[in-house]
Structure 1
């Protein structure tokens, strides 16, 4: 189906990697979704952050990052796929790659509310009340470790 994703820790990213990652996130979150908060949050270049993505000649086609928060729990976020690559299972493949590597541990995320059932199909469960982030309704979710 899909080739293996690129997987790099934040401290391993090249300038070209960072540019591509920020470009896909800018296109999806700032332009398409008109998020009202800055995307760059100080986590991307940390050695405790891991970036996973698929790419074509124009850069990342689908992307997510995962990191261990200050609470010691792994988080998944910034899941984004370029519009022309949606519906191909790329985000699903990235999420499965996260579960293959870190599925023994609890994983948490803030899902955009309309994606709650999609994340539930991967074993995530709601773990709190809805909240607003970047002007978009989100749902806190967790996936227990296996």
Structure 2
């Protein structure tokens, strides 16, 4: 269950260790951000969340998850970061940046790939990500493939 003693604590939980309450809270914030606000035209639940190679990072408060991302090892063998999202009332506080940095602290030696929403290209570039291909559409939203070399 997403119960927090401090709203600044970064939770890091591997997929198989998620509780039912964790999964519900994760899907709740992702549903609001991606399905409701951004009107994504593809389902969010994709079978990756519970994989042993998938790790979830989030910051929460008494109202639920404030900001979230997941990272996993893709079938091609490289690490990916995705599903980065922040609750509307928590945007502009640097929470997603904290989570990206926390992921880099843990997996920064690895090359990390992302499919960034195109309007966030410069934001991700600030973390060392570089364009790695042509823009593409996913879930009806323009994305840009980016990679951050292992540090």
| TM superposition score normalised by structure 1 | 0.98
Superposed displacement of residue 3, structure 1? 2.8
1:43 aligns with 2:33: no
| Residue equivalent to 1:30 | 35
Instruction: List runs of 5+ in structure 1 lacking aligned partners.
Output: none
1:95 aligns with 2:95: no
Instruction: List runs of 5+ in structure 2 lacking aligned partners.
Output: 1-6
1:9 aligns with 2:11: no
- In the alignment, the residues of structure 1 paired with residue 88 and residue 39 of structure 2 have an alpha-carbon distance, to the nearest angstrom, of 15
- In the alignment, the residues of structure 2 paired with residue 66 and residue 58 of structure 1 have an alpha-carbon distance, to the nearest angstrom, of 24
Deviation string for 1:77-135 (max 9, x for gaps)?
A: 00000010000000000000000000001000000000000000000000000000000
What's the Cα RMSD here? Answer: 0.8
Aligned length: 145
Task: State whether residues 8 and 60 of structure 2, in contact with CA within 8 Å, keep that contact through their aligned partners in structure 1.
Answer: no
Deviation string for 1:23-77 (max 9, x for gaps)?
A: 0000000000000000000000111100000001121110000000011100000
| Secondary structure at the counterpart of residue 145 of structure 2 | strand
| Residue equivalent to 2:86 | 81
- In the alignment, the residues of structure 2 paired with residue 16 and residue 4 of structure 1 have an alpha-carbon distance, to the nearest angstrom, of 17
Aligned with residue 58 of structure 1, among 59, 63, 76: 63
- In the alignment, the residues of structure 2 paired with residue 3 and residue 101 of structure 1 have an alpha-carbon distance, to the nearest angstrom, of 18
Runs of at least 4 residues off by over 3 Å: none
| Residue equivalent to 1:117 | 122
Superposed displacement of residue 4, structure 1? 3.2
| TM superposition score normalised by structure 2 | 0.95
